[in-house]
Structure 1
Amino acid sequence: MHEQLRQDAEGAILFDASLSPQVDGRWFDPGYWRERSALNTQAGGRGGVAMVATPAGECVLRHYRRGGMVARVMGDRYLWTGADRTRGFAEFRLLQAMAQLQLPVPQVVAAQYRRAGLHYRADLMTRRIPNAQTLAECLAAGRLDAELAQEVGALVGRFHRAGVWHADLNAHNVLVGPSMLHLIDFDRGRLRLPAQGWRMANLLRLRRSLFKLGAAAEGAARFEQTIWTPLMYGYERTLSA
């Protein structure tokens, strides 16, 4: 990766020049890609996610937005505490670090912040992982069985073994591809010292997500037998490897 920084009076862009030597603010505007017939899909929701065909390949463009009650007041604005602590720059560099650890994460392309007084707005662009479904989609399609659950557990175990804490580990942030699994959306994630507490909290968050999506519709006992026990087996075997 060849990291470059481009600054102006209102903000900055951090990008991988080995993927594209010319990244500017237009790259973070879905309208720019729409005008070039390069905007494939755009979803609302908290992340404001768009799929765009760029010179660096097909990418996922995400605009950072707050969730919960704070969103009513702050919307997509965050308190300025320095460039390196902006949401986009922090996630960009965490993705860099995880790639160096050979963890299965999206390839990061670029991040930007735009500052206005005490606040800023931020965006992140990563390479799209082709032919993948979220674990939530696999569950809805009836594809979450013991084998896949064990693979999910092994995936989480790899990240925890490396000291990676995912701030929002849920079934929407696990991607299941034809040959491997990935974790996505590392906003507010970070590297931490090994500890049982945060690891178990991460796993319980994933468990709650699966319950919320109906993984235990056939009963808690069946969920434990066919999903959670295999998942924990894959996790513990990988964590201790």
Structure 2
Amino acid sequence: MTGAAASGVVRQETADGAILFDAHALAQGERFDPRWFDAGFWRSGDHATEAPGGRGGIVFAHTPHGDWALRHYRRGGLVARMLGDRYLWNGAERTRSFSEFHLLHGLTARGFDVSQPIAARYRRNGGHYRADLITRFIPDAHTLAWQSQHGGIDAVTAGRVGTAIARLHAVGVYHADLNAHNVLIDAHKVWLIDFDRGELRAPQSAWQAANLSRLKRSLIKVGAASSGEAAFGRDVWQPLLAAYENTLGSQERGANR
């Protein structure tokens, strides 16, 4: 195990890979137990629950160190039939788990409302690896998809979502899967989660617009436009876009001063 850097991130070697973890999440000098990545470990003590609201693959673990969200990386689509949960090895820092951990750690340190990373792991087997990520559970929050299906999304909520996305876009944060299941809302904040394949890019209108279009398609898919496209545009999408554009503009003006 290597010592904690100034950021508090510790790298711990394992027999088949490595773990990154936030030393502040554990007791001083404590090692990270690899069993903590496994949902079965927590289920055996009745300390785990499945994530509701369409957040497939997520398990909530109630641990002595707080409530955590456990995620095992799984492929989708046709590739999943061949590789399942395996990914091609291209170096430790380019694993899905380590990349997402570093991105989230940096954004959390800068005060953005994203999932706080606890630990990341990869396990290598020849030319492939498997990966896991643990983040801090966000209490009293539900997905934008859930909100759409349980009471609907009003203009105020839509505006809050637009503002949250704009803050991240203004500093070049690209979310590879911005959809209604990866936006959490509570009484005070809007959180973006699941930054797998996310990255920092130069701010550019093309990818920013593509991010928003993906979210729009997702909202329509989960039923946000059930009252008709005109009502959806007026009550949800236009307030979201207005808040997004206002926030993005003010952020850009502030950066140019």
TM superposition score category, shorter chain reference: over 0.9
Q: 1:19 aligns with which of 7, 14, 25?
A: 25
Q: Specify the alignment match of 1:200 in structure 2.
A: 209
Q: 1:122 to 1:172 in 2, by over 3 A?
A: same
Q: Hey, what's the Cα distance between the residues in 2 that align with 1:204 and 1:196?
A: 12
* 4+ residue runs over 4 A deviation: none
Residues 93-145 of structure 1 show CA distances to partners (whole Å, capped at 9, x for unaligned) of 00011112211011110000000010000000000000000000000012301
Q: 1:208 to 1:228 in 2, by over 3 A?
A: same
Task: Indicate if the aligned counterparts of 1:5 and 1:12 stay in contact, CA closer than 8 A.
Answer: yes
Q: Specify the alignment match of 1:218 in structure 2.
A: 227
Q: Specify the alignment match of 1:183 in structure 2.
A: 192
How do 1:82-101 residues align onto structure 2 when only pairs under 5 Å count?
82-101=91-110
Q: Specify the alignment match of 1:105 in structure 2.
A: 114
Task: State the percentage of identical aligned residues.
Answer: 52
Q: Specify the alignment match of 1:170 in structure 2.
A: 179
- Structure 1 letter corresponding to 2:70: L
Q: Post-superposition shift, 1:35?
A: 2.2
Q: Post-superposition shift, 1:55?
A: 2.6
Q: Hey, what's the Cα distance between the residues in 2 that align with 1:197 and 1:165?
A: 11
1:9 aligns with 2:15: yes
Q: Post-superposition shift, 1:46?
A: 8.8
How do 1:50-61 residues align onto structure 2 when only pairs under 5 Å count?
50-61=59-70
Q: Specify the alignment match of 2:4 in structure 1.
A: none
For normalisation by structure 1, the TM-score amounts to: 0.96
Secondary structure in structure 2 of the residue aligned to 1:225: helix
Q: Hey, what's the Cα distance between the residues in 2 that align with 1:14 and 1:54?
A: 18
Q: Post-superposition shift, 1:42?
A: 5.8
Q: 2:237 aligns with which of 212, 228, 231?
A: 228
Task: Indicate if the aligned counterparts of 2:152 and 2:224 stay in contact, CA closer than 8 A.
Answer: no
Q: Specify the alignment match of 1:130 in structure 2.
A: 139
Q: 1:77 to 1:187 in 2, by over 3 A?
A: same
- Structure 1 letter corresponding to 2:177: D
Q: Hey, what's the Cα distance between the residues in 2 that align with 1:94 and 1:69?
A: 28
- Shifted more, 164-173 versus 206-215: the winner is 206-215
- Structure 2 letter corresponding to 1:116: N
Q: 1:118 aligns with which of 127, 134, 138?
A: 127
Q: Specify the alignment match of 2:3 in structure 1.
A: none
Q: Post-superposition shift, 1:37?
A: 2.3
Residues 182-206 of structure 1 show CA distances to partners (whole Å, capped at 9, x for unaligned) of 0000000000001010000000000
Q: Hey, what's the Cα distance between the residues in 2 that align with 1:70 and 1:105?
A: 29
Q: Post-superposition shift, 1:60?
A: 0.2
Q: Hey, what's the Cα distance between the residues in 2 that align with 1:64 and 1:41?
A: 16
Q: Hey, what's the Cα distance between the residues in 1 that align with 2:112 and 2:51?
A: 27
For normalisation by structure 2, the TM-score amounts to: 0.90
Aligned length: 240
Structure 2 gap segments, 5+ residues each: 1-6, 251-257
Structure 1 gap segments, 5+ residues each: none
RMSD: 1.4
Q: Post-superposition shift, 1:224?
A: 1.0
Q: Specify the alignment match of 2:81 in structure 1.
A: 72
Q: Hey, what's the Cα distance between the residues in 2 that align with 1:87 and 1:46?
A: 18
Q: Hey, what's the Cα distance between the residues in 2 that align with 1:111 and 1:47?
A: 19
Q: Post-superposition shift, 1:56?
A: 2.1
Q: 2:37 aligns with which of 28, 32, 37?
A: 28
Q: 1:42 to 1:234 in 2, by over 3 A?
A: closer
